[in-house]
Structure 1
Amino acid sequence: MEQQTPLLEVKNFSVSFKQYGKGLKQNVTQVISNFTLDLYPGEIMAIVGASGSGKSLLAHAILGILPSNAYINGSIKYKGEELTQKDKEQLRGKEISLIPQSVGYLDPLMKTGKQIDSPLKSVKSTVKSIMSRFHMADGVKNKYPFQLSGGMARRVLIGTALTSGAHLIIADEPTPGLHKSMVDETLSTLKELAGNGRGVLMITHDIDLAFIIADKIAVFNKGRSVEVVDAKAFEASPDYVKHPYSKALWHALPQNGFHSIRSKDYGDDIDAIQDAQGGEA
């Protein structure tokens, strides 16, 4: 891919939380440490790691929706410009769109058709075409989110990304609860967006999905990006990755035999190996 200005640059980024314990003692917990990645237009990057490793917090940081007790360090740039909190508030839902993990992000007081519809004249997709694409009956557009099944509500969320006109799409675990045909359609949608010059950041613990869709995989462990690798090379062999956690992820896949690995084979990072084999790889 021709080198150009990254759509999204995250450099030496950290997130920590301040909390009060017994006796009003203040504790600081660092969840993301020195995270770095570059995402280019037309590229799909998957952030892969076990559930609970802090992946979703990166999405929330980019969108500026972290809780008030969160403290951040490092740099997040969008189209070469540093993102301030004001920028994040102005861009989210417009130039930066989230397909969230929770269907609770839908507006409970707005009918689903209106949530899918786009105010942008430049967006050609209509509510009718989106609903047809994701196998939603016409009557669904007149229902409120609480009237939808979990899978149907998730389809609505994916539809909103298509009509947002966003240049950067962050898909946070976009496929749980969906039938395989809808999983395939969702991945096809993300590929279509990237093919139209959008940048797609997909957060997942399902590394097989990453192999299907991603150009690159950022392997995430305990709040750190341990390495960024070419997705096809990683799929082919663990020899193309360097970190023991990445190797452990590869070996833990069903098609690779659920093989356990020994520290003497891959170095002394015992914690990383045990996390990969015990987490949702």
Structure 2
Amino acid sequence: MYDVGLTQKQLPVITDLDIEINSGEVVAVVGSSGSGKSLLAHAILGILPHNAQVTGQMIFKGEPLTVERQAQLRGKQIALIPQSISYLDPLIRVGSQVHRAGRLSGLPNTKTSQVVDRVFDRYSLAPSVKQQYPFQISGGMARRVLVATAAVGRAELIIADEPTPGLHPDVVVETLNHLRELADDGKGVMLITHDLEAALQVADKVAVFYAGTTLEIAAALDFTSGNLRHPYTKALWRSLPQNEFIPVPGSQPSPEALPVGCLFGDRCSLATEACRETRPQFRIVRGAPVRCIHAEN
């Protein structure tokens, strides 16, 4: 990025992200704005800005996800459900857009039409909707169309980037249930969201991101059973209105001023000098990975 004038600098927005998604499961990715959730999705798809640099390794079906392989799989075996319904082309009828997604995935033309019909029926979209333009349908229907574009193909990994903001609660439940159905059909689903409460309705696991780092990957049941490990994850849970509604003091550190030690150390009541000296590595505590030296077995 550019700093002062034409001076360029490298800004390490993501430092240590670790996540694994298996077939048949929904993995929710939660965290505050700027923690790296959407960047991870764009990195997997290979649609980051041209000036971005990616290090580390991504594996898809046992093989490295190279730039060339991303181009081959994007929209075919790896599909995106974007966070905004504005991703629908306003100049193309809804049915044609879903049909195009099926063709892109490699379905023959005649079979694509049959699959599109089944998908529209599955997501309660009337046949007449196919002849309408995006501006002629409601926001909830448009959201279902976006899910349909992912379901119509042969994608084995579905990335849903903030699919529920601003929707009516009933539509939120409906959208999440559609994602759960995709996982139950054998697909892997990454659900990126700020809504922890909603994510727990359908997720198998929850990956907690903070300042470009995965702090904990917990089973969804760990939240309701009191089996959480990291202080930040516990604070997120307590901040929900139906729990203690306790705000977390302080703010997430800027990528330009990351501490040497634990990224959450300045806001953590358990922090010691050891936390400030070295950044914790993942370790298994009570069956799940966590970055905290104070997490107890």
Q: How high is the sequence identity, in percent, across the aligned residues?
A: 51
Q: Write the mapping of 1:213-232 to structure 2, written as runs, cut at 5 A.
A: 213-232=202-221
1:24–1:260 distance in 2 versus 1, CA, 3 Å? closer
| Displacement of 1:64 | 0.3
Which structure has greater strand proportion?
1
Q: Which whole-Å deviations, capped at 9, do the CAs of 1:3-46 have from their partners, x for residues lacking one?
A: xxxxxxxxxxxxxxxx1222422122111111111111111111
Q: Which amino acid aligns with 1:48?
A: V
| Displacement of 1:106 | 2.1
The answer to which of 168-177 and 141-150 deviates more is 141-150
Query: Where do 5+ consecutive residues of structure 2 fail to align?
Result: 251-263, 270-297
1:124–1:138 distance in 2 versus 1, CA, 3 Å? closer
1:34 matched to 2:16? The reply is yes
1:209–1:23 distance in 2 versus 1, CA, 3 Å? same
Coordinate RMSD, CA, aligned: 2.4
Which of residues 194, 197, 200 in structure 2 aligns to 1:205? 194
2:151 aligned residue: 162
The answer to which of 248-257 and 145-154 deviates more is 145-154
Q: Which whole-Å deviations, capped at 9, do the CAs of 1:79-121 have from their partners, x for residues lacking one?
A: 0100111111111111001101122322333211011232325
User: 3-state DSSP class of the match of 2:58?
Assistant: strand
1:111 aligned residue: 93
| Displacement of 1:222 | 1.0
Are the equivalent residues in 1 in contact too, given 2:140–2:171 (CA < 8 A)? no
1:67 matched to 2:56? The reply is no
| Displacement of 1:189 | 1.7
1:270 matched to 2:266? The reply is yes
1:253 matched to 2:249? The reply is no
Q: Which amino acid aligns with 2:133?
A: Y
Are the equivalent residues in 1 in contact too, given 2:29–2:190 (CA < 8 A)? yes
TM-score, normalisation: structure 2:
0.76
Distance in 2 (CA, whole Å) between partners of 1:102 and 1:135 is 20
2:129 aligned residue: 140
Which of residues 184, 192, 215 in structure 2 aligns to 1:195? 184
Distance in 2 (CA, whole Å) between partners of 1:84 and 1:257 is 45
How many residues of Structure 1 are paired with residues of Structure 2 in the alignment? 249
1:234–1:142 distance in 2 versus 1, CA, 3 Å? same
Distance in 1 (CA, whole Å) between partners of 2:116 and 2:87 is 19
Which of residues 24, 36, 44 in structure 2 aligns to 1:54? 36
1:182 aligned residue: 171
| Displacement of 1:272 | 6.4
Q: Which whole-Å deviations, capped at 9, do the CAs of 1:45-89 have from their partners, x for residues lacking one?
A: 110111332211100000000001111100001001001111111
User: 3-state DSSP class of the match of 1:226?
Assistant: strand
Are the equivalent residues in 1 in contact too, given 2:26–2:191 (CA < 8 A)? yes
| Displacement of 1:183 | 2.2
1:76 matched to 2:62? The reply is no
TM-score, normalisation: structure 1:
0.80
Are the equivalent residues in 2 in contact too, given 1:211–1:235 (CA < 8 A)? no
| Displacement of 1:269 | 2.3
Query: Where do 5+ consecutive residues of structure 1 fail to align?
Result: 1-18, 274-281
The answer to which of 61-70 and 208-217 deviates more is 208-217
Q: Which amino acid aligns with 1:176?
A: P
1:83–1:224 distance in 2 versus 1, CA, 3 Å? same
1:243 matched to 2:230? The reply is yes
The answer to which of 134-143 and 187-196 deviates more is 134-143
